[in-house]
């Protein structure tokens, strides 16, 4: 495969041409998750431990302080780096619209912030929330990051997502029709899924007009239901070669319009159980590029 796919940095350059580069600052606005607090489910997704994918999941610092310290760590004084404030932890539209307005407005108006990215579930994007995001999008660009994970409803049930693929489709199309940029989060290698399932997920992402995608291999982290099942021998992980083959096919299906933000799944070493290669971005890219287009 030629690396003719759109790289995420090029996607960001299109959106933010005034900046030399754009970096994300992860934020925790103190949201919960409807799949943890009982709104739609309890126990959360079978693979989820927020501490494994968000460096700020445990912070108690006020939001503006998190932003300022993130900016300080990235930017030099005369640096032309734009900041993408990234609401990362838990479900960042799981609150009444007025509360969301109060949280997002001061961040989007911050002089160093180029735009904001908001990670959320598809069932937390009702029309009133999307209308608010569309309104804020007229101030600075907003990217809505939607957890799709898979197009297979039976898998969604097995992993306790508590939403359907159709729900993801509707949310993505509503955002797209409201001129919002969208990033899909997907997992390759969920239990009982085949190459056909991975390809169907790619087709769903393409059909929904996502702007970008984060592709992750299933990786097992501590403190999750999957940790227990993996240790009991109930989960067989996808091999590195099969993952790269499936990711190459995924990219072939969604290219060239959808930017590829990620193909690896980085977790802190003390949280990751398996597979050891899941965070090896360069090695995974090298292998993906070996597949024919
Ligand atoms: S992965 Fe997202 S939706 Fe699932 S439990 Fe974790 S925070 Fe909630």
* Segment-wise mean pLDDT, segments of 10 residues, the chain, 293 residues: 73 93 94 96 93 70 93 82 95 98 98 97 98 98 98 98 98 98 98 98 98 98 97 98 98 95 92 96 96 77
Residue 19 belongs to a domain: yes
| Boundaries of domain holding 97 | 8-288
Judge if the beta carbon of residue 267 lies within 6 A of ligand 1.
no
CB of 278 shorter than 6 A to ligand 1: no
pLDDT of residue 78: 65
Long-range pairs for 224-232: beta carbons < 8 A, 24 or more residues apart: 224/46, 224/47, 224/48, 224/49, 225/43, 225/46, 225/47, 225/160, 226/46, 226/47, 227/273, 229/46, 230/273, 230/274
| Nearest atom (ligand 1) to Cα of 160 | 4
The CATH number assigned to the domain holding 228 equals: 3.80.30.20
**Which of 26, 31, 39, 45 for mutating ligand 1's site (highest number of atoms within 8 Å of CB)?**
45
Q: How far is the CA of 91 from the centre of ligand 1 (A)?
A: 7
**Contact by Cβ (8 Å): 238, 245:** no
For the chain, the helix, strand and coil percentages under 3-state DSSP, each to the nearest 5? 40, 20, 40
What is the structure's pLDDT at 57? 67
**Residue 247 near ligand 1, beta carbon < 6 Å:** no
| Span from the CA of 172 to the centroid of ligand 1 (angstroms) | 18
- Determine the pLDDT at residue 4: 59
Q: What are phi and psi of 252, to 5 degrees?
A: -60, -40
Determine the atom of ligand 1 nearest the C-alpha atom of 121. Answer: 3
Is residue 143 domain-resident?
yes
Q: Is 91 in the pocket of ligand 1 (CB under 6 A)?
A: yes
pLDDT at position 273 is 97
* Total H helices, total E strands in the chain: 11, 9
With a 6 Å cutoff on the Cβ, whether 121 touches ligand 1 is: yes
Residue 115 is assigned to a structural domain of this protein:
yes
Q: How many domains does the chain have?
A: 1
Ligand 1, atom 1, residue with closest C-alpha: 48
pTM of the model: 0.96
Residue bearing the CA closest to ligand 1, atom 5: 44
Write the DSSP assignment of 103-138 as a string of letters.
HHHHHHTSTTEEEEEEEE-GGG--HHHHHHHHHHHT
Segment holding 50, helix H or strand E: helix 50-53
In a domain, 2, yes or no: no
36 lines ligand 1 (CB under 6 A): yes
- Rounded to whole angstroms, the Cα distance separating 132 from 183 reads 18
- Regarding the beta carbon of 185 and ligand 1, being less than 6 Å apart is answered no
Residue 52 lies in a domain: yes
Considering the domain boundaries, does residue 96 fall inside one?
A: yes
Identify whether 293 is part of a domain: no
């Amino acid at each position: 495969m030629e690396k003719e796919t759109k790289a995420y940095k090029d996607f960001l350059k299109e959106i933010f041409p005034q900046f030399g580069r754009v970096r994300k600052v992860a934020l925790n606005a103190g949201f919960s998750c409807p799949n943890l607090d009982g709104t739609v489910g309890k126990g959360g997704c079978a693979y989820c431990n927020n501490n494994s994918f968000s460096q700020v999941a445990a912070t108690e610092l006020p939001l503006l302080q998190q932003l300022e310290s993130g900016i300080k760590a990235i930017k030099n004084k005369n640096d032309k780096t734009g900041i993408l404030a990234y609401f990362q932890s838990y479900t960042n539209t799981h609150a009444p619209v007025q509360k969301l307005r109060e949280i997002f407005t001061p961040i989007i108006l911050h002089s160093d912030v180029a735009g904001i990215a908001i990670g959320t579930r598809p069932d937390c994007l009702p029309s009133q929330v999307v209308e608010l995001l569309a309104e804020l999008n007229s101030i600075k660009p907003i990217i809505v990051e939607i957890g799709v994970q898979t197009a297979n409803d039976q898998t969604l049930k097995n992993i306790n997502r508590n939403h359907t693929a159709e729900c993801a489709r509707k949310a993505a199309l509503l955002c797209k029709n409201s001129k919002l940029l969208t990033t899909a989060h997907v997992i390759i290698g969920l239990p009982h899924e085949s190459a056909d399932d991975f390809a169907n997920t790619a087709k769903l992402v393409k059909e929904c007009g996502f702007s970008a995608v984060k592709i992750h291999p299933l990786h097992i982290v501590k403190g999750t239901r999957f940790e227990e099942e993996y240790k009991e021998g109930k989960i067989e992980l996808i091999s590195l070669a099969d993952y790269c083959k499936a990711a190459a096919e995924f990219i072939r299906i969604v290219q060239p319009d959808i930017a590829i933000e990620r193909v690896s799944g980085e977790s802190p070493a003390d949280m990751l159980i398996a597979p050891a290669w899941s965070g090896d971005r360069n090695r995974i890219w090298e292998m993906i590029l070996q597949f024919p287009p």
